[in-house]
Structure 1
Amino acid sequence: MKHKFSTLFPDTPEQDIRHVYSPYRVCPVGAHIDHQHGPVTGFALDHGVDFLYVPTETGVINLFSTDFEGQVLFPLTAIPPRYQHWGRYVQAAIYTLSKVGEIKYGVQGLICGSMPVGGLSSSSAVLLCYIMALADINDITVDEHQLIELAFIAEKEYIGLSLGKLDQSCEVLARKDHLLYLDTLDDSYRLIPKPDTMPDFDILVFFSGLTRTLVNTGYNTRTDECKVAAYSLLAYEGLPYGSFTDTRLRHVDRAVYNKWKHRLPEPLAKRATHFMTEHERVEQAVEAFSKGDINMLGAIMFASGDSSIQFWESGCPEMIALFQSIKEAPGVYGGRFSGAGFKGCCVALANPDHRQEAIDYVSKAYLEQFPEMEGKYEVWACKTADGVKRIS
């Protein structure tokens, strides 16, 4: 990557190059409930996004990517209208960081992701890298919690996603050999150490070959359906409720849901059912991990994946086939869609001793059904890792 940087910017001394990194993340259990202020779990992966950069005192943004074509080039004094390509993420970083400090100096650099886009929160990782770099060169102090909040605001207000804080929190707070438990109601979290009694495990990432952007899926519609369900359930019970914008399923007691769920239209009832049961699964998953019970954790992951298909109604034929193949593979403890599940990746916890068997089984089963994905479909064996860091 440094060689590529030097080719793009040959006049930059190597000792002046700065380097920030953000990992990708997976969520073992806690699918689609962070935006409803539910609890979630996460691991950071030992793969992620690297950003090599140097400041530009002229205030110019000059960026290249190893993953996308083209160049992003503009002065801070004349930021273009919002791009509809990869350049919009540095625009989003400027937008959010400007809320806490003055951005006088620009950046020229090269950004590189080590895995495909789709399901691993690569957009959040990119944003975190840009925010860290711009804060660094403009002497803006940002702590971990501010970094999470700024990346969250960038993705919600500028990119346009109705999401929660799982992605940013996991990529910032996670630690190697720990499970992150995050309560998005109040942003409290715990890092649960992997017990010595728990066997080693791989995090296998199966990339379907389908790329996606959440802005163009039903993702935002489903989050709105959750709010409508919450608003309705509170109203049926005669409980006070605030504005629709601020209403979440976390505000609804399980007993109220059980009493009134029959009144909800089917799509709303499904979204509420997924939230209530996934909330329970998160607590069960934390208990299983704390005890070192990898088999129980895996079973809970599979149940989460089934609920995402049945009640959240995410997935597509390719992703559902990939998930079903993972459920049948030897040496796999558990798995589910990674991310929204409309395209992108599936993730699995697996026994390293059966790594190749699992990969071979899933790959054969999936490609037999979708031979057109040959050459696009990929698999990675990952481990847990620490969160974001400044490398140099």
Structure 2
Amino acid sequence: MKQQLVDKFQQIYGDGAVTGIFFAPGRVNLIGEHTDYNGGHVFPCAITMGTYALVRKRTDNRFRFCSLNYPDQGVLELPVWELDWKREHGWANYPKGMICTLMKKGVPVACGMDLLYYGDIPKGLGIGSSASLEVVTGLIIRDLMEIKDLSMIDLALFARLAENEYIGMSSGIMDPFAIAMGKKDHAILLDTSDLSYEYAPLELPHQKIIVTNSQKARLAVDERYQERQAQCQEALHDLQTVIAIQNLSELTADVFEQVQEMIRRPVCLRRARHAVTENQRTIQAVEALNKGDIREFGQLMNASHLSLKEDFEVSCEELDILVEEAWEIEGVLGSRMMGAGFGGCTISIVENDAVNEFVSRVGSHYKERTGRTAEFYIMETGNGASEV
């Protein structure tokens, strides 16, 4: 693949050496959904799918962007002072946004660049493709400009800032952090309130991590996501009248039971209950994994789905069917919806000898019940962003 990408780069940008080849992975989140903007814990891991980026320095201040995933869009060429967001630039807004964010924060970008991107993350999986684009671009800038004091965590923070301020998405830190800081055969328990983290071994010799694409497109997900955030904030403000907390995830389930009556609106109470209990489940799940109790881990994944369905109300019929069908198979240790919700994917832990049955039965029953054809992907853990 490396040589093929170099050949394609030279075909597009002309002969000459490529300055560098970089890679940033995607990520899957094992448990800890909709907790990041509530100051809670998440438990993602980097995967081997991701975004490759080839770069060549230019002697002027012009940037050229091209993606093999969008061949019809050709090459976008812009001077460094014209990298503002524009709808018609589509995918290129993500690397542009990262470059703009770095420059805005004082990172020197002393030359132009030719950039070629290729991602092998299937569309619609929701496993961090935009953050992967941003982090790999930030890594290129850091390494080519030889900026020694810019850490991988810094790049993750800048990528989140690019999403929030340049792209206009109110996304959290989980995606860029896992992509920047991933470690093969490990997942990351990240406390989003202070960015403290620890690696937990994720070697599953007898199981597979399978992501199932429902093929149900997410509709109006940004609006619904922001609505859930607002409801959590409302619940937090109600609780702050009786208890000194900064985030919902500071509460244990027992303390929440004692103070929940202060939340005025029932819908906000349900949202807060998910934030509190999901955070506790995530901590318990990592403890179970560290003890080697993968079955308990799976049960907590199942409980996570029910909470996302009933309290946070971000599931949908298609995701529920995939999960219900998975639960019927003996070798499935745990299964839940993954990501923002309202469509997208599920994530399951499946015993090796049950994988074929899982794909066959879940796929056929899902087709019968919805008319849609599910896609199945076996995920492998990988390292974080780096030069190839």
What TM-score results when the alignment is normalised by the length of structure 2?
A: 0.90
Shift of 1:248: 2.7
1:173 to 155, 158, 181: 181
Residue in 1 that maps onto 2:96: 91
Q: Distance in 2 between the 1:106 and 1:210 partners?
A: 40
- Give the secondary structure class of the aligned counterpart of 1:145: helix
Q: Is the 8 A contact 1:120 1:338 kept in 2?
A: no
Residue in 1 that maps onto 2:382: 385
Q: Distance in 2 between the 1:325 and 1:107 partners?
A: 49
Residues 2-40 of structure 1 deviation map (CA, whole Å, 9 limit, x = unaligned) = 14333322x233x42521111111111111101111011
Residue in 2 that maps onto 1:228: 234
Residues 333-358 of structure 1 deviation map (CA, whole Å, 9 limit, x = unaligned) = 11222211222221111122222221
| Contiguous gaps of at least 5 residues in structure 2 | none
1:121 to 116, 120, 128: 128
2:78 to 71, 74, 79: 74
Matching residue's letter, 2:259: W
| Contiguous gaps of at least 5 residues in structure 1 | 242-246
Residue in 2 that maps onto 1:39: 41
Residues 128-171 of structure 1 deviation map (CA, whole Å, 9 limit, x = unaligned) = 01111222333333212211211121112222232322112211
Q: Is the 8 A contact 1:52 1:111 kept in 2?
A: yes
Match runs of 1:155-166 below 5 Å: 155-166=163-174
Residues 56-105 of structure 1 deviation map (CA, whole Å, 9 limit, x = unaligned) = 23222222223234143311122244336212102210222111312232
Residue in 2 that maps onto 1:257: 256
2:143 to 111, 136, 141: 136
Equivalenced residue count is: 377
Residue in 2 that maps onto 1:12: 15
Q: Is the 8 A contact 1:105 1:137 kept in 2?
A: no
Shift of 1:255: 5.2
Q: Indicate yes or no: 2:194 matched with 1:207.
A: no
Matching residue's letter, 1:28: L
Q: Is the 8 A contact 2:31 2:42 kept in 1?
A: yes
Residue in 1 that maps onto 2:24: 22
Q: Is the 8 A contact 1:203 1:381 kept in 2?
A: yes
Residue in 2 that maps onto 1:302: 302
The change in CA–CA distance for 1:383 and 1:234 in structure 2 (over 3 A counts) is: same
The change in CA–CA distance for 1:133 and 1:184 in structure 2 (over 3 A counts) is: same
Q: Distance in 1 between the 2:330 and 2:255 partners?
A: 41
The change in CA–CA distance for 1:152 and 1:5 in structure 2 (over 3 A counts) is: same
How much is the aligned-residue C-alpha RMSD, in angstroms?
A: 2.3
Q: Is the 8 A contact 1:330 1:357 kept in 2?
A: no
Q: Percent identity?
A: 28
Q: Distance in 2 between the 1:154 and 1:81 partners?
A: 11
Q: Distance in 1 between the 2:259 and 2:165 partners?
A: 33
- Give the secondary structure class of the aligned counterpart of 1:203: strand
Shift of 1:326: 2.5
Matching residue's letter, 1:169: F
Q: Distance in 2 between the 1:199 and 1:81 partners?
A: 45
Q: Distance in 2 between the 1:215 and 1:65 partners?
A: 25
Q: Is the 8 A contact 1:217 1:342 kept in 2?
A: no
The change in CA–CA distance for 1:353 and 1:7 in structure 2 (over 3 A counts) is: farther
Q: Distance in 2 between the 1:333 and 1:326 partners?
A: 9
Shift of 1:124: 1.0
- Give the secondary structure class of the aligned counterpart of 1:86: helix
Residue in 1 that maps onto 2:201: 193
Matching residue's letter, 1:31: E
- Give the secondary structure class of the aligned counterpart of 2:240: helix
Matching residue's letter, 1:351: E
Q: Distance in 1 between the 2:68 and 2:230 partners?
A: 35
Shift of 1:259: 2.8
- Give the secondary structure class of the aligned counterpart of 1:30: coil
Q: Distance in 2 between the 1:362 and 1:59 partners?
A: 53
Match runs of 1:354-373 below 5 Å: 354-371=354-371, 373=372
The change in CA–CA distance for 1:368 and 1:150 in structure 2 (over 3 A counts) is: same
Matching residue's letter, 1:78: E
